């Protein structure tokens, strides 16, 4: 029997190739979108699961409070003593490992000298927690001895070519010291939350010239150490979490902490599972940019919506051709076919078509994945869809989709009465028409929401690009500031500024486009007494040239001056800090005495507010200070002549190599760094555009089916109207108005949903954002109407141009 159903299905596909093509094509597009998004979802959820004990590994994070219960900072790294202390306090912890990113380091082997950004200090337990294969050397002992180094395969090739790197020495340029190569490891996979290329022995940090053993044991202020704990299998970590406040009170004391506060009221430790880091962790100093569970949920919903539209499209097209198969159904019933047999026949046809669509979708997915990877910056793989726990549901998909898509057309067409259909009387009941209209409303509602979402994403991106930042980011080159330049910096600066293409330069602890993380206690001196303030006042250390380099404007007071020796103890704040302090104007802040950290001084200037961080963040209170030592600097910024960029870069290179011959020069333009802050939104906007076009296209196929079905029921009516003198435009209007009403209903439903969902799920992530304009909503509705009208007109004009004589003869 099934064989007969399939034979019949193939015959009907061959008999009506155009409609069959549209059916298969619509489902293919929908299934392709689903497979691509499924590959994306699998990739996002796979992060760090390649580690054997991933479920039992936790990262220690640290929260700071401005006041009890008022969080101002949540860091993904902690101070160096916490790892060993936690293991001592909680013996159930099997192992710990600590990592310290080393910033940009210059490494040299023979004549090969490079700056490396992905170098970290890692302790000997590193490979017990993170399971990347070791190609050469010993994972257990490779990082035990100080001044040992392990390289990724790519790094080993870069420095040593085809040589065996084991036991060879590679020179760290600053401070100068040889490191012995003890191993080569495979690069971390793409679905890892970190990708170190160089691992340097953590025990090296015990050297006082590098960091110092005492510092590792007592420094609770340097929260730069990523600390991971390995627990026994299926261990109840909640037990440890509950004891962490008491642990802090017992082991950690902060100098200057008010006597009525306990340590756990000032800071807090949390434990975060390794597999949650990529999607659920958005802390202030992540090793790399993470994904977003919200984005995964949005694209999952889009995949389901597109598949739903494709199923609706199939229903409409199947019922649209019901008139073509009415006599076939009538004859089958006359010769004894039961209704359930006819339903089974149509469902088998639906499943067959879905199978064809799935095969084509699989081929398209293989072809499109490289393009999607380029567009989104992802590393999707078709192989992720071939694991049995994923492949099995995919293979069952045609039966599910075939049932969903085919059940309504099957039930509808099996209900035809043989007497009527053999006479050519085929009519759908009003309930049937209403159901199909509901389906079209659903299709266009989804399409309109996606149109609004796409428009708003690109509007927000334009707003970001055009918004005044409060400083000039153009023609500023930034680079890491090497400590080896400290003693020569003044000579370096003067030498560089002799070139006319160099406008200004300055050094600082951080630069705009980064995050403001550094914070110390602030107190105001009023009436001779210190008064603690509860605001979260971040700071950056700068030199005298920083503010002029960025063209920041002073609201009151002045910049730091090299001619005034006391400025090393003075401060500059921004306008937002003035507001938070409660002073009415910027002038009121001048000459105020304050203590910040351990420095007592006066406020000498107020800089106008500017966007140091991305527009996702609010402008926060900020303080500038001059450091006591140049080691507090980390970044060098150079303002160049935008009309002579090549000459400026050449001047920087020549001067750099004059003073730092052993350090390669690497730089970026600041405007590029700001652009990178919104890569995720750019990619999201591009994907929204693609999916919107796909959704609209499939919805139009559905509308095409419904209009074809309805017009086929009104053939005689159209003939009578023509005989009575109706023009083509009148007939087209008459046939189109009912469908356009459906699109208007879809717009009425979709626009409020789009407004509230986009405000919450997208714009809610920005502190500085656009408001969704009424014309955006109106444009989406009008665009949907135009697209619908063009789709319907194809069928309407065809019907209006038909010979009325043939129409009136039709039975």
Query: Residue 68 has what pLDDT?
Result: 73
- pTM of this structure: 0.83
Cβ within 8 Å of residue 590, ≥6 positions away: 556, 557, 603, 604, 605, 606
Residues of the chain short of pLDDT 50, as ranges, are 428-432, 811
How far is residue 374's CA from residue 157's CA, in Å, rounded to a whole number? 26
Query: Residue 431 has what pLDDT?
Result: 45
734 by Cβ neighbours in 10 Å (0-12 / 13-18 / 19+) ranks as middle
Q: What is the enclosing helix (H) or strand (E) of 39?
A: helix 17-45
CA pseudo-torsion sign 619, 623, 626, 627: negative
Q: What is the enclosing helix (H) or strand (E) of 670?
A: helix 670-676
How far is residue 608's CA from residue 376's CA, in Å, rounded to a whole number? 37
Q: In this structure, what token pair is assigned to residue 116? A: 């490396």
Q: CB neighbours (10 Å) of residue 451?
A: 27
Q: How far apart are the first and last CA of the chain?
A: 33
Query: Residue 325 has what pLDDT?
Result: 60
DSSP letter at 209 equals T
Q: Side-chain half-sphere of 604: how many Cα atoms within 13 Å?
A: 16
Q: In this structure, what token pair is assigned to residue 437? A: 């209209």
Q: CB neighbours (10 Å) of residue 533?
A: 17
724 by Cβ neighbours in 10 Å (0-12 / 13-18 / 19+) ranks as exposed
* 433-487 pLDDT per residue, tens: 567 778 788 888 888 998 898 889 888 888 888 888 898 889 999 998 888 888 8
Query: Residue 566 has what pLDDT?
Result: 86
Measured CA to CA in angstroms, residue 34 lies from 28, 194, 303, 364 at distances of 10, 28, 5, 12
Do 620 and 519 form a contact (C-beta atoms < 8 A)?
Answer: no
Cβ within 8 Å of residue 691, ≥6 positions away: 33, 302, 306, 450
How far is residue 636's CA from residue 616's CA, in Å, rounded to a whole number? 25
């Amino acid at each position: 029997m099934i064989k007969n159903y399939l034979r019949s299905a193939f015959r009907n596909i061959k008999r009506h190739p155009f409609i069959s093509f549209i059916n298969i094509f619509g489902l293919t597009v929908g299934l392709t979108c689903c497979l691509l998004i499924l590959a994306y979802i699998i990739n996002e959820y796979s992060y760090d699961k390649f580690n054997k004990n991933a479920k039992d590994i936790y990262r220690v994070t640290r929260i700071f409070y401005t006041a009890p219960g008022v969080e101002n900072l949540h860091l993904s790294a902690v101070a160096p003593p916490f790892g060993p202390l936690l293991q001592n306090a909680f013996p159930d912890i099997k192992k710990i490992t600590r990592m310290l990113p080393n910033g940009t380091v210059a490494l040299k082997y023979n004549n090969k000298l490079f700056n490396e950004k992905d170098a970290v200090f890692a302790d000997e337990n590193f490979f017990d927690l993170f399971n990347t294969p070791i190609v050469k050397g010993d994972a257990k002992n490779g990082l035990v001895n100080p001044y040992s180094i392990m390289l990724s395969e790519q790094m080993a090739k870069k420095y040593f070519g085809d040589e065996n790197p084991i036991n060879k020495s590679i020179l760290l340029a600053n401070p100068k010291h040889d490191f012995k190569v003890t191993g080569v490891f495979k690069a971390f996979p793409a679905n890892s939350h970190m990708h170190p290329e160089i691992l340097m022995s953590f025990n090296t940090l015990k050297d006082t010239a590098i960091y110092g053993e005492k510092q590792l044991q007592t420094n609770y202020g340097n929260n730069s150490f990523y600390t991971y704990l390995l627990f026994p299998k299926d261990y109840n970590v909640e037990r440890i979490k509950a004891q962490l406040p008491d642990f802090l009170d017992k082991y950690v004391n902060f100098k200057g902490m008010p006597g009525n506060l306990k340590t756990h009221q000032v800071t807090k430790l949390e434990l975060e599972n390794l597999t949650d880091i990529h999607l659920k962790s958005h802390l202030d100093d992540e090793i790399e940019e993470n994904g977003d569970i919200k984005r995964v949920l949005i694209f999952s919903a889009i995949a389901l919506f597109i598949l739903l539209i494709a199923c609706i499209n199939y229903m409409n097209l199947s019922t649209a051709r019901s008139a073509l198969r009415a006599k076939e159904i009538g004859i089958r019933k006359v010769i004894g076919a039961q209704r359930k047999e006819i339903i089974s026949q149509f469902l088998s046809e639906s499943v067959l078509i879905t199978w064809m669509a799935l095969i084509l979708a699989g081929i398209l997915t293989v072809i499109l994945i490289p393009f999607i990877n380029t567009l989104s910056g992802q590393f999707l793989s078709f192989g992720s869809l071939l694991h049995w726990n994923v492949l099995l549901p995919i293979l069952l998909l045609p039966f599910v989709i075939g049932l969903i898509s085919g059940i309504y057309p099957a039930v509808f067409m099996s209900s035809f009465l043989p007497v009527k259909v053999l006479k050519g009387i085929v009519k759908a009941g009003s309930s049937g028409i209403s159901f199909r209209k509901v389906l079209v409303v659903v299709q266009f509602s989804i399409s309109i929401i996606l149109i609004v979402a796409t428009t708003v994403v690109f509007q927000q991106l334009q707003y970001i690009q055009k918004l005044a930042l409060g400083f000039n980011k153009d023609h500023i080159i930034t680079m890491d500031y090497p400590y080896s330049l400290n003693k020569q910096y003044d000579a370096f600066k003067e030498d560089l500024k002799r070139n006319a293409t160099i406008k200004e330069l300055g050094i600082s602890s951080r630069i705009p486009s980064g995050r403001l993380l550094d914070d110390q206690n602030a107190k105001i001196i009023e009436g001779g007494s210190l008064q603690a303030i509860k605001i979260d006042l971040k700071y950056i250390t700068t030199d005298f040239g920083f503010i002029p380099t960025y063209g920041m404007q002073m609201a009151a007071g002045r910049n730091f001056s090299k001619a005034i020796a006391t400025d090393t103890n003075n401060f500059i704040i921004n306008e937002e800090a003035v507001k938070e302090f409660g002073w009415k104007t910027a002038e009121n802040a001048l000459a105020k005495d304050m203590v910040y950290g351990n420095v007592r001084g006066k406020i000498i200037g107020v800089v106008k507010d500017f966007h140091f961080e991305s527009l996702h963040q609010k402008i926060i209170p900020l303080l500038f200070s001059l450091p006591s030592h140049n080691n507090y600097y980390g970044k060098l910024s150079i303002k160049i002549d935008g009309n002579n960029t090549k000459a400026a870069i050449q001047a920087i290179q020549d001067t750099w190599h004059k003073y730092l011959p052993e350090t390669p020069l690497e730089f970026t333009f600041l405007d590029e760094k700001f652009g990178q802050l919104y890569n995720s939104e750019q990619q999201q906007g591009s994907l929204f555009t693609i999916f919107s076009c796909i959704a609209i296209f499939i919805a139009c196929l559905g509308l095409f089916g419904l209009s074809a079905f309805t017009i086929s029921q009104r053939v005689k009516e159209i003939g009578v109207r023509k005989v009575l003198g109706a023009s083509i435009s009148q007939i087209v209007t008459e046939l189109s108005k009912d469908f356009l009403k459906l699109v208007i209903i879809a717009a009425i439903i979709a626009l409020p949903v789009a407004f509230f969902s986009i405000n919450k799920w997208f714009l809610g992530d920005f502190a500085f954002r656009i408001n969704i304009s009424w014309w955006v909503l109106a444009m989406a509705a009008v665009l949907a109407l135009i697209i619908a009208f063009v789709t319907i007109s194809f069928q309407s004009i065809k019907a209006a141009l038909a010979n009325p004589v043939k129409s009136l003869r039709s039975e």
